[in-house]
Chain A
Amino acid sequence: MKKANRTGSRFLIGLMFLFLYLPIILLIVFSFNAGDSSAVWRGFSLNWYRELFQNRLIMESLYMTLLVSLLATVISTAAGTFAAIGLYSLSRRKRDAILMVNDIPMMNADIVTGVSLCLFFVAFFQGWGGFARWFNGVQSAVELPTRLTLGFGTLLLAHVAFNIPYVILNVSPRLRQMDKNLVDAAQDLGCTWMQAFWKVILPEIKPGIVSGALIAFTMSVDDFVISYFTAGSATSTLAMTIYGMTKRRITPEINAVSTLLFLTVLVLLVVVNVREAQLEHREASREPRKPTLMERIAGRTNTPGWRWAKRGAGAAAICCFVAVVVFLTGATSSQPVVNVCSWGEYIDEDLIGQFEEATGIRVNYQTVESNETLYSLLKSGGADYDVVVPSDYMIAKLIEEDMLEELDYSNIPNYALIDERFKGLSFDPGERYTVPYTWGTLGIIYNRNMVDGEITSWSALYDDRYAGNVLLINNSRDAMGAALMYLGYSVNTTDPDEIRAAFQVIEDANRRGVFQGRVMDEVFQKMEGGNAAIATYYAGDYLSMVENQADGVDLAFVIPEEGSNWFVDAMCVLKDAPHKEAAEAWINFIASTEANLANMDYIWYASPNKEALEQYPAYYEETYGEELDQETYEIMAAPPEVLDRCEVYENLPQETLSLYSDLWVELGVG
């Protein structure tokens, strides 16, 4: 009876662990995949581990994660311990009141903590800016920085803020259990309070401190939400990098780095557990306890000479730690730097290295998801970018709101290489703010094996035949744009009736269950794996999907007969950018023919550089030893007759934008 019971319960425990570990095992297995899919096994390889160390984005965010977690752990452990000791000498009523406030970050939803800290920092920065300007005005001895932004400092503060409660939570019970006379006893035996602290309190509460520090470290490494709201744009932890990637495609290097992290912790835990088990076993068998190696060393080194050596070693270790931190943060700050913000997978990363080598300017390359997100970031004061690469309509909006700096084109001689077709477009008619980066078209991507015949019209997006297999683009402008074109209206219409009619099309389809989901960059993974039949996305991205498509998936791209949107993404410099010259150097470098060729080859988006656009087929042949398929080239760089069918998005008036966003919310909520 009892025996059978246990088997049953173990079976349940086993099932639970299978549930917990299945995804993890899958992840680890696929980090050894020769191919880059996280669904299709292409043989064993250590490739991704090699690649990992080359991948700057991942390595930097890994380093950032470890640095922030380590610093936050050290600071919050020290601060939390002292705070706990202080709290325990207060009267119970005061202590309980403080502990209640202390518990708030633990009980509050992460997102609320993150949001509240974000608001607080931004408000503080605004206040600070005013103060600094006033202060700089009344005296000239000290120049205070007037512009503070979210970044490493705020990230660290946020981590410390949410870690301290955990430290206090772990240290407090130890303090409570501690015989209150111990400190008196130590002082009675000749210790000053400080000595008593080191010799008695600390060893007594050490287990609490250690477990508090461990939990703090774990929380820090694992945290995403709070970091996401407080790190701003220029700093990125591993979790944030992963979040950025989950939208597009998790590169297997991330699986590799996570596997390494996971296995390290696993090994550590196993070692600790085995040692504990041994200790327990020895105690259970009542063997006389031999002094451990550490104790023997401690005993032998308890002479004045050794004591100084130990102190020296301790001081040296602390100095080393500080030096490493200072060096690592200093190395990144003393160099001239340019902060660039672009879209995910939107640059050949070799170019960054080349630019840095040529100019000695460090590039801090960040990505955001969409034009709207970029706008939010800029508005919230969370961004510290110099160069951004928004799309046409967003550029117009930014110019309108006076958020861009005029460029000094004499610093950008390569501007001359840009095709006249892409100069002086509606968003920047005076050619004062922008240098085009890429251009392309929006179209329908579909899986030939999942649809009947060829698709030629937007109507396919709303077709019941494909119910549950259509991916709606999660961006009001593009989704509505497609519906407007389907109805034969202009994508830039401001007529509310037309817009409502277009929305009705989408909503009806949504109600009929045509859409499987609303996606942005998740579209890659879904389409490549054959998990959806039809999606709206950009031509360049289609080409990179084709490269990665799974067996049994046959992707095609079409610009529907009703016409479509074509877009230009252009580089601009933000108002008051701290590194304007470096920014212009970067823009000039990217505008060069070589850079454009490399980018075009890497991201499959068409180049606005005339030479590059013309030379690309030759470049392709030279690089890959085969001719570039004409059809592919035309998808990449739509020929003029196709472009004629397409419209550029213009910045819409505020009331139209509000209508868009209200309707979009309605769709999301419904």
Chain B
Amino acid sequence: MSKKLIRLADCCMAFDGELVLDHINLYINDSEFLTLLGPSGCGKTTTLRIIGGFITPTSGEVLFDDVRMNDIPPNLRKVNTVFQRYALFPHLNVFENVAFGLRIPKTVEEGGRKRKVRVPEAEIRQRVLEMLEVVSLKGFDQRRISELSGGQQQRVAIARALVNRPKVLLLDEPLGALDLRLRKDMQSELKRIQQQLGITFIYVTHDQEEALAMSDTVVVMDQGRIQQIGTPEDIYNEPKNAFVADFIGESNILDGIMHEDFVVEFFNRKFKCLDKGFAPMEPVDVVIRPEDIDIVPAEKGALRGTVTSVTFKGVHYDTIVDFKGFKWLIQTTDYHSEGETIGIVLNPDDIHIMRKSQYSGMFGDYSSYSEEYDDLEDVSLLEEEEGGDEE
């Protein structure tokens, strides 16, 4: 792989004695699109702010190119940030907002003498206009910020950061305030820009779909700890624990016992699987993705259950099935009416085995399934923003 650009070594962060980051170890490669993913309060924004230099970790080291950066203020880091809700300067127009960073004189050391260097006005003009073109805002340079739509403001914020040619761009929930449609457009736009410029993006979001769609690497965080690092495929297919399994996509998670390699028992039945390396008779979590489950007539199924609710989702149906008191979510394209008894078939590659963790037993049961789940997530995110800035 390409070289390591940024390294967080054993970083901890505490606010008022409360541990927010718990021994974070993370490296970020050059030209990588890395996403910090997790629910509100998981420490992802804090991690980003440590990299940006807005806060200093309580312990541990931040290394850029193997140089310790803990005490370097943000203005001296080759890192730029796109802020939540953009933080554009309302008193400046689009052009001046983008030119802001270029107008700050940089101190350069030359032969032991410190000298202030300014970017010439002509170059500023050229670079700003160029960058506005990159973010598809050509001709908007004299507009006032208040005259722009949310999506346009978003682009200005990106241009403002990128015009300084940072090695790393930090994006803190940049699409959170946009509507769904715009969000999708901006996702591909961001990916395009990242590939066009070939720089590192560190992206913070709580939206797993966004994370999976854009990232090279996803870092799943919860309660100040990294739960899993991997490519989107890895994370989805091989979740390390119940939290990741539940947070990334939908999962049915059951208690199981690993009898031997490739054999797992749950619901008092043994199933074949593709996992090995567990101790004999080790209790494990078993993950079964709802879309992997095939429904068959009751008599042909390996397990039998009763449909308790059906919701039409467009491409598929969300079917909740009761198996001996444990409710599963199954996604199929076929319709099964409520009260119907059905059977299911599980293939060995549909069954994922995870070691027991602190999250075991907390997720994966759909008895309290609610469609509003996603919306609630957004609300709590907003609360976190308000509260987080109070410090």
Name A's B-contacting residues (CB within 8 A). Answer: 91-92, 179-182, 184-193, 195, 199-200, 203-204, 206, 289, 291, 302-304
Contact = CB atoms under 8 A, between A and B. Distances in A.
17 contacts: A91-B390, A181-B84, A181-B85, A181-B87, A185-B87, A185-B89, A187-B53, A187-B54, A188-B54, A190-B164, A191-B75, A203-B92, A206-B91, A289-B144, A291-B142, A302-B103, A303-B121
A191 B52 contact: no
B118 interface: yes
B101 A189 contact: yes
B79 interface: yes
Contact of A203 (B91, B101, B142, B144): B91
A291 B164 CA distance: 26
B121 A188 contact: no
B301 interface: no
A184 B87 contact: yes
A289 B75 CA distance: 33
B160 A189 contact: yes
A303 B118 CA distance: 10
A411 to B, nearest CB: 66
Nearest to A302: B121
Nearest to B106: A190
A101 B75 CA distance: 37
Interface string B377-391: 000000000000110
Nearest to A203: B91
Interface residues of B, number: 32
A660 B53 CA distance: 76
Contact of B74 (A182, A184, A203): A184
B104 A182 contact: no
Given A91-B390, A187-B75, A203-B89, 9 more contacts: A92-B390, A182-B87, A182-B89, A184-B83, A188-B79, A188-B161, A189-B161, A199-B100, A304-B118
Nearest to A288: B142
B80 interface: yes
A88 to B, nearest CB: 11
Interface of B: 52-54, 73-75, 79-81, 83-85, 87-92, 100-101, 103-104, 106, 118, 121, 142, 144, 160-161, 164, 389-390
B170 to A, nearest CB: 8
B91 A189 contact: no
Contacts of A184: 52, 54, 74, 81, 83, 87
Contact of A180 (B73, B81, B389): B389
A287 to B, nearest CB: 13
Nearest to A182: B87
Interface centre among B84, B100, B161 (most CB of A within 10 A): B100
Interface centre among B52, B54, B104, B164 (most CB of A within 10 A): B104
Contacts of A187: 53-54, 73-75
A181 B83 contact: yes
Contacts of A303: 121
B80 A189 contact: yes
Contact of B90 (A91, A190, A204): A204
Given A180-B389, A190-B106, A203-B91, A185 B83 contact: yes
Nearest to A91: B390
A541 to B, nearest CB: 62
B1 to A, nearest CB: 28
B74 A188 contact: yes
Given A180-B389, A203-B91, A185 B104 contact: no
Given A180-B389, A203-B91, A302-B121, A195 B54 contact: no
B54 A190 contact: no
Contact of B104 (A191, A203, A206): A191
A315 to B, nearest CB: 18
A179 B85 contact: yes
B13 to A, nearest CB: 16
Contacts of A92: 390
Nearest to A185: B87
Contacts of B83: 181, 184-185
A210 B164 CA distance: 33
A185 B121 contact: no
B268 to A, nearest CB: 55
Contacts of B88: 185
Contacts of B142: 289, 291
Contacts of A180: 389
Contacts of A186: 89, 100
A188 B77 CA distance: 8
A559 B287 CA distance: 117
Given A184-B54, A195-B104, A189 B164 contact: yes
A192 B160 CA distance: 17
Contact of A188 (B80, B84, B106): B80
B90 A192 contact: no
Contacts of B52: 184, 188
A303 B105 CA distance: 12
